[in-house]
Amino acid sequence: MTQYDSRLLDDVAKLFTSAAGAAQGVRHEIEAIVKGQAERLIADLDLVSREEFEAVQAMAARAREENETLKERIAALEAMASSQS
């Protein structure tokens, strides 16, 4: 292999290394753009966070329990009222 061939191979290797680095940079830029657009889309959809969802879910469970308790109390009061009449 001649010195010219060696230099040519070195130049080609440098070119490919530069191209790979540029492609990696473009990839990171595209990922950042797509992530930003996805975050804006999600914000526009007005979705709730996991924490907000779980808080409302717990509130609904407590409300159902209270509702059942009140139904039982009403049934007991109605039974007392009908037995006194």
Token pair 């804006």 in the structure block, residue: 40
Q: Are residues 26 and 5 in the same domain?
A: yes
Q: What is the mean pLDDT of the chain?
A: 89
Q: Are residues 70 and 38 in the same domain?
A: no
13-44 per-position pLDDT tens digit: 888 788 778 888 888 999 999 999 998 988 88
And the tokens for 5?
Answer: 């061939």
At residue 66, the pLDDT reads: 98
Residue range of the domain that includes 8 = 1-47
Q: Are residues 53 and 67 in the same domain?
A: yes
pLDDT of residue 4 exceeding 80: no
Please give the Cα distance from 36 to 81 (Å, whole number).
64
- Predicted TM-score (pTM) of the model is 0.48
Q: Are residues 35 and 52 in the same domain?
A: no
